Structure 1
Amino acid sequence: MGWLIDLLPLDYTDAVVVVGATLLGLTAGALGVFAVLRERSLVGDALAHAALPGVCIAFLATGAKDASTLLVGAAFAGLVGALLMVGIERTSRIRPDAAIGVVLSSFFSLGIVLLTYIASTDNANQAGLEKYLFGQAAGLLERDLVVMAALAVCSLTLVTLAFRPLKTTLFDPSFAGSVGLPVRVLEVLMTMLLVVAVIVGLRTVGAILMVAMLVAPAVAARQLVHRLSLVIPVAALIGAAVGVTGALISSRGELPTGPVIVLVAVGFVVLCVLAAPHRGVLWRARKLRAARRRTLAESVLVDLETAIHAGPPPTAVELAQASGRPARALRAALRDLDRAGMLARDGDRLYLSEPGAAAAHAVLERRELWSAWLEHGWRLELPDAREPDPTDLRASLGDEYADRLSALAAGGR
């Protein structure tokens, strides 16, 4: 990894931290997707907490604070915790969330007890083990990066090779079992991938904050794309970007790296939830507002058409009195219609332009067709289960069935 560190325009320590944060983001972002989409986000939290006693037991067994040895202990404890969760869930009446809580609390309590015991011993090597709680990115070494990179490459390669069976098991385990896929093995494999992600991030963000790196990139990616084949790489890229950004901010501000990375991740999730195209809160609010304005304008268009046929063209005041709409809403709708070129004026009197008259007739036709659907739609005997669209029923049904529906309504009258 030395060549990569040398390429970065940073001092050695900062470069190591940035590379480590990037590897963490890539791995946790991609593998965390399986936890989020399985609705098992807290499994990652339980596995991260379960890794702590593994670190302590590895230290007690070897007496040395070797990072590779401690990570092996963390991996073993994480696997034991994962198997316990699965076993408790499937061999008892305990629900999955309760099984996660049992494993998380018991393993983490054991880890704290072991940490306290180790701190009371005379072994000078025990200093710094508590950093596995909150992470210590500044303590990363090149050999740690090599281990992290190897784990990342192996896990992501496995996901790529087993993508189709993993996808099938993830979304429809019953179907996966019916076609002969080893569902339980694949579910255990997904959990083991989470263990790998936890091991990669344990030194950087720690056991307590690791769940954020598993969940946040996946949640953000889910707001941006829809297909699993895109969610995984996008989550990995988001995780890498979050890791690099958080590492640089913490370096410049002399702040703890793990918490800063997590805060950046949470901030990006909030941004995606608010502003993501098609799914963001602000996007949906804008779309809903536009739909309401369009509906109001169409209703005023029909009111004006009705008023013109009933007597002389109305003024805005007369139209408001006849329709019973608030004056402010009516003014906004008239302004939108005027901008669209659907209104003509003769002093204070309002007329429909040629495009306005055509639009009013189209709205009336859609309303009549929808009323006909509600009354006679059951008589059409459609060849498939179509979902009718109230705003454009003709496009939903097709011209043939729309004309047949109009004929049924005319015959009923």
Structure 2
Amino acid sequence: MEIIKNPNPAQWGQILKRPTQSLEALNNTVDEVFAQVRENGDEALKSYTKAFDGVNVADLAVSEEEFKAAEDNLSAALKKAILQAKSNIEKFHTAQQTPKVSVETQPGVRCWQEKRAIEAVGLYIPGGSAPLFSTVLMLAIPAKIAGCTSVILCTPPNEKGSIASEIIYTAALCGVKSIYKVGGIQAIAAMTFGTQSISRVSKIFGPGNQYVTAAKQAATKFGVAIDMPAGPSELLVMADASANPDFVASDLLSQAEHGADSQVVLVSTNETLLKNVSKAVVLQTKSLNRKAIIEQALKNMKLIGVSDDSTAVDLINFYGPEHYIIATSNNSYFVDNVLNAGSVFIGDYTPESAGDYASGTNHTLPTNGYAKAYSGVNLDSFLKSITFQEISKEGLKNLGPTIELMAEAEGLMAHKNAVTIRLKTLSNES
């Protein structure tokens, strides 16, 4: 694997380019699927599931029998692990609750802010070769804590036309009873428009491939919000001579196995570490079950050597990684200088896998550089902040003239009149 040594900042953009297609290249397919689902509902969903997933699905909804079978199919050990992860995720997201904010901005003028749940949300859970039941925990738990009244879940069926037992069990554990066997663009379209089986939602959550990402962005054109543009997974590791090469290699591979379009990056001030990690990656890959996928993803891997910590920080913030691991002898320096990252993992014994499953933080994170502007999913993602205000008679007497002057200066005389007419009434009362 090639080591890129001390690249000029002018080259960073090209070196760190994500291996993703432009959304424009996918838009024709997305537009076609959206149009068909909007027009033909469930019929279109079944047709596209046959075309894209290669299976016939007679009933889109997961039945009560399937819920029961899913629970029976899981081992006691796995159920216990899921419960432990659920507990940690609940603790972390419950701690994010905030009280009402209230302030009297001046005598007689009271303003406050309260949060209300988004009523109807749709959760997209990637399936296929790796059914991500952990994502159910990451999305359904904060949705329930927030108080969303309608939570539906869409996930692609497997080759047998069914949903992985782990996904069904975890969803039921989190109180989600509406699960549908539909994935990809067609699932996003169904939640955008609603069909005979699937209700329209107000906001769609969940990661997915490039087609799902393009579909989520298309959904915003039809009045449906999304959590963020979340596409193929990515990881950047900052490591120096103090890092364990085997640990670093295992972290890089843990993200590479997500998909052929995943990207992993290693930045280091130590060339020997870069070489040792490269060797460890090759060695560890041989024993992994998703070797073929990993080898494709590793074609996008970048090994970058930099001269000092300051340059490393600048390069990392330029990239804005989804997942960011810090394994150095000066971790606090890198932590203090994080500007752009989805989620940060600190120290030799904090693998990215912990955040993916069970530490408590959310693993639905911004990719493709969107960490420069977006946060990962959190409790507030399922809430709306609504502002309130109440002005007394005395408050309006004090504030009114200011409003009148500002409205008149903008030429909005009806705005001014809404105050003037009240002030005249108050004047007549005195």
Q: TM-score range by the shorter chain?
A: under 0.3
Greater share of residues in strand: 2
Between Structure 1 and Structure 2, which shows a larger proportion of helix residues?
1
Q: What is the TM-score normalised by the length of structure 2?
A: 0.22
